[in-house]
């Protein structure tokens, strides 16, 4: 039969015993009668008699050659090298010790990534129930506060605050009686708030009732002795009542409680100017400039002190600064013209007087200065 292309005898036919067995059997009893076969003769006989022998001789060399070829083909360029961390061996010169091989540095440890910062949750901010009353023009504030009062949602100090803020808006809108009504309501709910009495006193002064204003200011001072603003307003009321000495005391008390209160210096300089206290007028004008350098009034009070002390050029400088801050400052035009007049700079003086008349054509003081200047020019 034929198996995979190789012709084989039928398994049931008579077959020769294995070659090796036959050779061994033939040798038994004939070792002395037959000559010993050579290796080449035995090879030839097996080649022709045993096909498996032939196949082994054909396949075996090819297998060895294929293995050698595969080994050479798979080898890396430059030949096989030992897999080691050591440096390549370099020939060591004679009488020189071999280079000391340093082991490789340890691999850096992976840094632990920083933990991501998670901010804590923000605390809930308290809601201001009066926030609608704190912005807008007077009409908007009045409307917002009225809506809050009508809602019925406010209690205690909150509803008192709504009345008070609406009162401030009414006062700013020149509705003084409505402002007074709201201040009365706020004080009835919270009679311990000094600010309510102070602001009601301001409205009393707007209604030209300085005596009632004085009572409210004194009440505010009693409730809060370190509250500087009622002292300033009390000083204004005293000045209106023609009590300038007491007014100076009140303004000074306000400054003692709050040295940065600009309005206290302004009103005290006003009284100093009326009383021809030019040193006091100069000092308070200086402080006003220090606190609010862009407000013209400080320069006007200090300039007036310079003018009355015959320091005309510094006076001109201060009045010029005041005019640059407020081109409608008729007082500064008038007094700068006066300083030019005393320096015999009549053209400059006349120019300032005419600028003052353009602001107020009926200003009697400026008209008087112009007449005086004309007489001087005419030699009279």
Residue 230: per-residue pLDDT: 97
Distances (CA, A) of 25 to 18, 29, 290, 294, 358: 11, 8, 139, 139, 157
Residue 76: what pLDDT? 58
Give the pLDDT score at 17: 43
CB-based burial, 91-127: b 16+ in 10 Å, e otherwise: eeeeeeeeeeeeeeeeeeeeeeeeeeeeeeeeeeeee
Tokens of 163: 């009345």
Closest CA to 282 of 258, 259, 314, 245: 314
Q: Using DSSP, state whether 7 is helix, strand or coil.
A: strand
pLDDT at 133: 86
Per-residue pLDDT, 206? 96
Q: What pLDDT score was predicted for residue 347?
A: 95
pLDDT at 185: 95
Q: Which residues contact 122 (CB under 8 A, 6 or more apart)?
A: none
Q: Is 325 exposed, middle or buried (0-12, 13-18, 19+ CB in 10 A)?
A: middle
Contact 282, 252 (CB under 8 A): no
Q: Position of tokens 């096989």?
A: 80
Show the DSSP H helices in 227-329 as ranges.
228-240, 244-257, 262-274, 278-291, 296-308, 312-325
* Neighbouring residues of 198: CB distance < 8 A, sequence distance ≥ 6: 216, 217, 220, 227, 229, 230, 233
pLDDT at 53: 72
Q: What is the pLDDT of residue 327?
A: 95
pLDDT in 10s for each residue of the chain, 380 residues: 333 443 343 433 444 444 444 343 344 344 444 455 566 676 667 766 777 777 776 766 777 777 776 666 665 555 545 444 444 434 444 455 555 556 666 656 655 656 666 666 666 666 788 888 888 999 999 999 999 989 888 888 899 999 999 999 999 999 999 999 999 999 999 999 999 999 999 999 999 999 999 999 999 999 999 999 999 999 999 999 999 999 999 999 999 999 999 999 999 999 999 999 999 999 999 999 999 999 999 999 999 999 999 999 999 999 999 999 999 999 999 999 999 999 999 999 999 999 999 999 999 999 999 999 999 888 76
**CB of 308 closer than 8 Å to CB of 276:** yes
Question: Tell me, what's the pLDDT at 380?
Answer: 60
Say how far apart CA 321 and CA 333 lie, in whole Å.
Answer: 11
**Domains (range + CATH), the chain:** 16-28+40-63 (no CATH), 129-191 (1.25.40), 194-377 (1.25.40.10)
Does residue 207 sit in helix, strand or coil? coil
Helix or strand run (H / E) with residue 146? helix 138-151
What pLDDT is stored for residue 30 in this prediction? 42
């Amino acid at each position: 039969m034929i198996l995979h292309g190789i012709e084989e005898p039928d398994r049931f036919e008579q077959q020769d015993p294995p070659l090796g067995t036959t050779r061994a059997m033939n040798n038994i009893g004939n070792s002395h009668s037959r000559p010993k076969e050579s290796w080449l003769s035995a090879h030839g006989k097996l080649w022709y008699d045993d096909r498996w022998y032939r196949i082994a001789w054909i396949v075996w060399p090819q297998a060895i050659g294929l293995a050698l070829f595969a080994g050479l083909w798979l080898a890396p360029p430059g030949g096989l090298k030992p897999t080691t961390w050591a440096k390549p061996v370099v020939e060591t010169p004679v009488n020189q010790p071999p280079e000391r091989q340093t082991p490789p540095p340890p691999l850096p440890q992976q840094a632990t990534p920083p933990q991501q910062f998670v901010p804590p949750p923000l605390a809930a901010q308290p809601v201001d129930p009066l926030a609608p009353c704190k912005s807008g023009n007077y009409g908007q504030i009045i409307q917002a506060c009225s809506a809050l009062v009508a809602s019925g949602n406010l209690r205690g100090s909150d509803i008192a605050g709504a009345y008070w803020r609406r009162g401030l808006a009414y006062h700013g809108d020149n509705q003084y009686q409505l402002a007074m009504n709201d201040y009365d309501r706020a004080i009835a709910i919270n009679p311990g708030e000094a600010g309510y009495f102070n602001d009601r006193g301001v409205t009393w002064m707007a209604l030209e009732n300085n005596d009632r204003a004085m009572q409210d200011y004194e009440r505010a001072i009693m409730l809060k002795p370190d509250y500087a603003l009622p002292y300033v307003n009390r000083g204004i009321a005293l000045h209106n009542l023609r009590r300038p000495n007491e007014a100076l005391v009140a303004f000074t008390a306000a400054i003692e409680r709050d040295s940065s209160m600009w309005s206290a210096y302004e009103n005290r300089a006003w009284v100093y100017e009326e009383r021809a206290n030019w040193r006091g007028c100069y000092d308070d004008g200086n402080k006003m400039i220090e606190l609010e350098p862009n407000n013209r009034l400080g320069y006007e009070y200090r300039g007036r002190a310079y003018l009355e002390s015959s320091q005309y050029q510094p006076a001109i400088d201060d009045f010029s600064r005041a005019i640059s801050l407020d081109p409608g400052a008729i007082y500064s035009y008038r007094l700068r013209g006066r300083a030019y007049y005393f320096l015999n700079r009549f053209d400059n003086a006349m120019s300032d007087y005419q600028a003052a008349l353009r602001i107020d054509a009926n200003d009697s003081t400026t008209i008087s200065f112009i007449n005086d200047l004309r007489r001087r020019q005419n030699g009279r």
